[in-house]
Amino acid sequence: MATPLKVCVTGAAGQIAYSLLYQIGHGDVFGKEQPLILTLLDITPMMNALHGVVMELHDCAMTLVKEIVPTDSEEEAFRDIDVAFLVGSMPRREGMLRKDLLTANAKIFRSQGLSLDKFAKKTVKVVVVGNPANTNAMICSHFAPSIPKENFTALTRLDHNRAKAQIATRIGVRSDAVKNVVIWGNHSSTQFPDVSHATVEVEGKTLPVYEAVKDDAWIEGDFITTVQGRGAAVLKARKLSSAMSASKAVCDHVRDWWFGAPQDEWVSMAVMSDGSYGMPEGVVYSFPVRVSADCKWAIVKDLPISDFAREKMEKTAKELEEEKKTALEFLAS
Ligand code: NAX
């Protein structure tokens, strides 16, 4: 059997991790032949709850899981890891301003960046889920200079999957018939879900989504606001934020990064911007990316961008620049 992969999940006592850990342990991300060592990080007050999660993981009797290490120490959690799922973060409490949330998380992700830099393998792949995910990923990478910037990503795959599902439902096809939607920008309400390059297979024919939907006003109105506001809608209905769909999206993101995504399709990933499409460099911005089988992603270049799209892409970029400024100024103060 292969050498075990060392995988860390933070926020391991939380609700996303509760679904995610089973899927990782079951082989849904790294394959059914890949043994795993799981290190589970949470904060000290959550250690009892975390031990309950560990008991359940043992009770799942998963053959791929060779060892489980629950801990409140970043050093123990990150030592020699191959992959980090950074799910844990400070949640927004009632009355908390967005700025307070940003700065509280900036401290957490500075600390985790420094620890990854010191203890993880230099090849470690990092996906940040904890919000504000894009800016947390930027901070984490900033404080882990010995790890390549392309190894840090943030999750916008849930938004991508939501966009596919909305289009599929509208047309009455399976969601895998919809290809090449894009989420541009921030995982926040300013994100831009864009289907101007997307196609859909209907009764054996591949059509542009605009042509299949035949309702531009819906695509440029309710579709966008529904995807942007989906997290809030789930929270309102469930009184809890998205967890099942979030953990499925995390698995999709990392599995495609690990094994490569189908070459006729791109996926949305928030990655360190290189200035593509005129978006600012140095923020973690969601782009369409292709992923090859050697774990390398590349931003899809040269898609034609309408004035309608550009305005929305710039709005979400501006929010990311403001978040970056607030977080870095706070950390420097
Ligand atoms: P929970 O509040 O259920 O769990 C979070 C866990 O993180 C808790 O157990 C907490 O103790 C732990 N934690 C806090 N600080 C930590 C630290 N410094 N080190 C390690 N663990 C720490 O939240 P859950 O529903 O699991 O969501 C986790 C995060 O994902 C939240 O920030 C949430 O906003 C974010 N989401 C991001 C999504 C995305 O697409 N990027 C979608 C889903 C989700 O909303």
85 assigned to some structural domain: yes
Last residue within a domain, chosen from 112, 132, 154: 154
CA of 198 to the centre of ligand 1 (A): 31
Question: How many CA atoms are closer than 13 Å to the CA of 197, on its beta-carbon side?
Answer: 22
Q: Is 11 annotated as a binding residue?
A: no
Are both 108 and 240 inside the same structural domain?
no
pLDDT digits (tens, 9 = 90+) for 297-312: 999 999 999 999 999 9
Range 231-240 average pLDDT = 92
Are both 161 and 149 inside the same structural domain?
no
Are both 14 and 148 inside the same structural domain?
yes
Share of the chain above pLDDT 90, in %: 94
253 assigned to some structural domain: yes
328 assigned to some structural domain: no
Are both 146 and 28 inside the same structural domain?
yes
Task: Sort residue 239 into left (φ over 0), alpha (ψ -120 to 50) or beta.
Answer: left
Last residue within a domain, chosen from 99, 134, 154: 154
Tokens for 100? 């307070």
- pLDDT at residue 94 above 80? no
Which of 170, 153, 297 has the alpha carbon at shortest distance from 227?
Answer: 170
Q: Is 187 a catalytic residue?
A: yes
Are both 172 and 295 inside the same structural domain?
yes
Q: Which of 8, 9, 42, 190 to mutate to test the pocket of ligand 1 (most atoms within 8 A of CB)?
A: 42
Confidence of residue 96 (pLDDT cuts 50, 70, 90): confident
Average pLDDT in the chain: 96
88 assigned to some structural domain: yes
Q: Is 130 annotated as a binding residue?
A: yes
Among 142, 160, 187, 197, the active-site one is 187
Residue 126 Cβ < 6 Å to ligand 1 = no
CA of 330 to the centre of ligand 1 (A): 22
Range 167-171 average pLDDT = 98
Are both 163 and 23 inside the same structural domain?
no
Share of the chain above pLDDT 70, in %: 100
Q: Is 255 annotated as a binding residue?
A: no
Are both 148 and 31 inside the same structural domain?
yes
228 assigned to some structural domain: yes
Output the domain CATH number for residue 172.
Answer: 3.90.110.10
330 assigned to some structural domain: no
Last residue within a domain, chosen from 122, 154, 186: 154
What contacts 67, CB < 8 A, 6 or more positions away?
4, 37, 38
Quick one: how far is CA 325 from the chain centroid?
22
Look up the domain containing 72 and give its range.
5-154
Quote the pLDDT of residue 100: 87
Confidence of residue 98 (pLDDT cuts 50, 70, 90): confident
pLDDT digits (tens, 9 = 90+) for 7-22: 999 999 999 999 999 9
How many domains is the chain partitioned into structurally?
2
Are both 130 and 74 inside the same structural domain?
yes
The owner of tokens 């059914």 is 32
Are both 102 and 176 inside the same structural domain?
no
Closest Cα to atom 18 of ligand 1: 108
331 assigned to some structural domain: no
Residue 309 Cβ < 6 Å to ligand 1 = no
Closest Cα to atom 38 of ligand 1: 129
Output the domain CATH number for residue 36.
Answer: 3.40.50.720
Which of 148, 139, 193 has the alpha carbon at shortest distance from 166?
Answer: 193
Are both 161 and 97 inside the same structural domain?
no
Are both 263 and 302 inside the same structural domain?
yes
Quote the pLDDT of residue 81: 98
Quick one: how far is CA 9 from the chain centroid?
13
CA of 107 to the centre of ligand 1 (A): 15
Tokens for 234? 């789930």
Cβ of 328: how many Cβ atoms within 10 Å? Answer: 16
- pLDDT at residue 177 above 80? yes
pLDDT digits (tens, 9 = 90+) for 13-53: 999 999 999 999 999 999 999 999 999 999 999 999 999 99
Q: Is 172 annotated as a binding residue?
A: no
The model scores a pTM over 0.90? yes
**In whole angstroms, how far apart are CA 31 and each of 21, 48, 64, 68?**
14, 30, 9, 18
79 assigned to some structural domain: yes
Are both 170 and 318 inside the same structural domain?
yes
CA of 81 to the centre of ligand 1 (A): 20
Report ipTM for this prediction: 0.99
Burial class (CB in 10 A: 0-12, 13-18, 19+), 318: middle
